[in-house]
Amino acid sequence: MKRVTAVLPARNCRRELKKCLSALSRSSYIPGIIVVDDGSDDGTRQMILEEWPHVTYLPLSAHTGYAHAANAGLRLVQTEYAFLIRPDMGLQIGRRCIAGLLQAMESSVFCAVPTCCDNAKSMSAGGGTGTESRGRGRIRGDEGIFFPELAAGKHRQGPAAEMIAVPDGCAMYRMRTLEEIGWLDERHFDGLEAFDLSLRAALAGWKTVRVPGAHIRTASGKAKGEGTCSAAASGTFRRQLAAGNSLYVFYKNIPVPMRVFGFPMFAAAELAQLSAFLRRGEFGAFRMAAERGRALCSLEKDRRTALNEGVSLWPENLSDASFLGMDQAAEQIYPLFLAEKGERSLRNITRYAHVHRMLAAQLPELIRLLAQ
């Protein structure tokens, strides 16, 4: 019986999606596969129906954002684990990636994250260490499903390490825990969803780990802007989303006393984010991102107030949540998975302390994550 289902939210990235499907189909563990088409208009539907008839194909009627597309796919998963991967980031999985992640899914582990084994540029997308990055053997085959330097044993081994500053793009999740702590928060639209999930999981007593024996790498030799990948996956637009989302993530997950206690750390991360925008000459984009982040926090405050007053349902739609002015078709999509199933409480002070220790220890990774 299969234990894993792969979920691939995709928008206008047909070529990268094809490579990802090839890698999944030829990996040592072949999972069930769900492709969620987030309003693509590049022939994705035709390719899937003609070339991948065994894949479950879920087309959405409008572009709703990565978080909603991922949730739509996760809702169809009936296996113990879900392997969530973004084809639009050009990620290629190693042959033993899924098997390695499965091996790391112990009883207390909610999420297992692969290790990026590409060059230093890919570290900002997938983490990793310099030792893991130095092997640069060629990928055999166009799909990039086999890494010669890894097969030869020229890579760093070691135990899975707990982490919280999780980059978006690729991870394996325990479905039972998703049911417990909630799904991806669709207010994000795109950006920092994995970080938000790891925070909520840690506060619920679950661990997220990086697995040295499971490897991914970014597509090599690809020119910047080449292909048909969605603009939402890179560039100023996504940086804006991530910058606004970072304010929202800390606001909704960390109570005020703990935010005060961890102010130096949060301030360092925010300053690094601002510096990244200034280096690119995008200060106006940062101001818009900060405004969106404050609006998301205000929405969350109103929702919590309503729930405390006994309101059982807080109506929202995607355009209200994301402030992106999406078209009328997207506005009609409901429900919106706000993902928050627990309330902030200092009763779990030991877990908050653990989260702060982890974030402080991973401050370089956190800064890199927010300043990408």
Same domain, 209 and 64: yes
Within 13 A of 236's CA, how many CA atoms are on the CB side? 12
Mean pLDDT along residues 112-116: 87
Q: What is the pLDDT of residue 225?
A: 32
Same domain, 137 and 38: yes
Lowest mean pLDDT among 47-61, 157-171, 280-294: 157-171
56 versus 147: which is more confidently predicted?
A: 56
**Is 263 inside any structural domain?**
yes
Q: What is the pLDDT of residue 265?
A: 86
Same domain, 122 and 204: yes
**Is 149 inside any structural domain?**
yes
Domain count, the chain: 2
Same domain, 174 and 276: no
Using DSSP, how many helices (H) and how many strands (E) does the chain show? 17, 9
**Is 223 inside any structural domain?**
no
Same domain, 302 and 356: yes
Q: What Å distances lie between residue 63 and 168, 327, 329, CA to CA?
A: 19, 9, 9
Same domain, 35 and 129: yes
Q: Give the DSSP per-residue string, 178-209.
A: HHHH----GGGSSSSHHHHHHHHHHHTT-EEE
Same domain, 155 and 192: yes
pLDDT grade, residue 157 (50/70/90)?
Answer: low
State yes or no: pLDDT of 334 exceeds 60: no
d(CA 359, CA 362): 5
End-to-end CA distance of the chain: 39
**Is 224 inside any structural domain?**
no
Average pLDDT, the chain: 77
β-pair type (4-10, 56-59): unpaired
Q: Which range marks the domain in which residue 104 is found?
A: 4-218
Of 169, 187, 218, which residue constitutes the final position of a domain?
218
- Residue pair 185/196 in contact (Cβ under 8 Å)? The answer is yes
Same domain, 244 and 366: yes
Same domain, 31 and 157: yes
Same domain, 43 and 136: yes
Residues contacting residue 124 through CB under 8 Å, at least 6 positions apart: 167, 368, 372
Same domain, 246 and 128: no
pLDDT tens, residue by residue, 135-150: 333 433 333 334 443 4
Mean pLDDT along residues 144-158: 46
8 versus 142: which is more confidently predicted?
A: 8
Q: Give SS3 for 347.
A: helix
- Provide the angle, in degrees to the nearest 10, between the axes of the packed helices 349-361 and 263-279: 40
Of 182, 197, 218, which residue constitutes the final position of a domain?
218
State yes or no: pLDDT of 154 exceeds 80: no
d(CA 5, CA 2): 8
**Is 307 inside any structural domain?**
yes
Same domain, 214 and 241: no
